[in-house]
Structure 1
Amino acid sequence: MSYGVAAALQKAVYELLVTDPALAGLIGTGVFDTVPSGPVPPTYVAIGPEEVRDRSDGTGPGAVHRFTVSVISEAEGFATVKTVAAAVGDALNGASPALDRGRLVGLWFERASARRTGQAERIRRIDLRFRARVQDD
């Protein structure tokens, strides 16, 4: 197994999100790999948890990364958060960025869950789960 590509994959996902024009048009610079302390934008995207499993084969070490990208919003209803979540999905699903280490074999959307959270359930949150297959060449 190789976890060596994890940082390169996260960097590539972050770069895809912050440079996507459609997403920037919706939330500006509100993409984080760690939510800053203090005030946050009313709608933002956060790269979240990850699970990794070995997928080494005869060609070398590899892994499958399952990671979550969350869209969090104070907007009324789910329309805004769903629009932003769709832009995240469009930016990532099937993307093939170059990595600083290893290579990305494929990147796919797996599932999403939407819910209300926070005080008086005023926060809308959609967690999008993606699967990335990487080789550590």
Structure 2
Amino acid sequence: MSTSPVLALRKAIRAYLLADAGFAAELGEKIFDEAPRGAEPPYAVFGESQMRDWSADLSRGAEQIFVLGLVSTLRGLSEALERAQRIVDLLDEAPLVLQDNRLIDLRFLSLETRREQSGRFARVNMRFRAVTEYL
């Protein structure tokens, strides 16, 4: 049984970000599928994802649109935006190695900011597009 392209991509992203010394120094290992109750920001969290068939004549593939969020407790958005930019710089066209899948392309698409819990948290959502091929 092959690994889901969504799970394979998430695992590869997590490993790639944690391998960067600057990222690891800022967030430690705080990259979650869902933030645990009481998790102290800053942290990154995987958000919504969509996957659709992207197969060609000779190979099976998938296109994914996914969100990676960065949550911060500082009042302004500057800390969250700086950390989000580091993630974008690391992941845009990154050469990730996926389990049971091959990454064809990974691109940054867009970024949005918002406030959560009556302004207590700043959140930056980064949207990416990935195309993968099943091995």
Q: Give me the TM-score of the superposition, normalised by structure 1.
A: 0.90
User: What amino acid is the match of 2:108?
Assistant: F
Structure 1 partner of 2:9: 9
Name the CA shift for 1:29/1:4 in 2 (closer, same or farther; >3 Å).
closer
Q: Identity across aligned pairs (percent)?
A: 30
Q: Separation in 1 of the partners of 2:125 and 2:39?
A: 18
Q: Where do residues 1-137 of structure 1 align in structure 2 (5 Å cutoff)?
A: 4-37=4-37, 39-118=38-117, 120-137=118-135
| Cα deviation code 1:31-84 (max 9, x no counterpart) | 2222123x2122111112110111100121101011100001111201110111
Q: Report deviation, 1:123.
A: 1.1
Q: Mean alpha-carbon deviation: is it higher for 17-26 or for 70-79?
A: 17-26
Deviation at 1:104, TM superposition (A): 0.3
Deviation for aligned residue 1:3: 8.3
Post-superposition shift, 1:124? 0.4
Give unmatched runs, 5+ long, in structure 1: none
Query: C-alpha separation between the residues in 2 aligned to 1:53 and 1:42?
Result: 32
Contiguous gaps of at least 5 residues in structure 2? none
* Number of equivalent positions: 134
SS at match of 2:86: helix
Secondary structure, aligned partner of 2:127 = strand
Give 1:19 deviation, angstroms: 2.0
Q: Cα gap change, 1:48/1:56 in structure 2, threshold over 3 Å: closer, same or farther?
A: same
Q: Following the alignment from structure 1 to structure 2, what is the Cα–Cα distance between the partners of residues 90 and 21?
A: 14
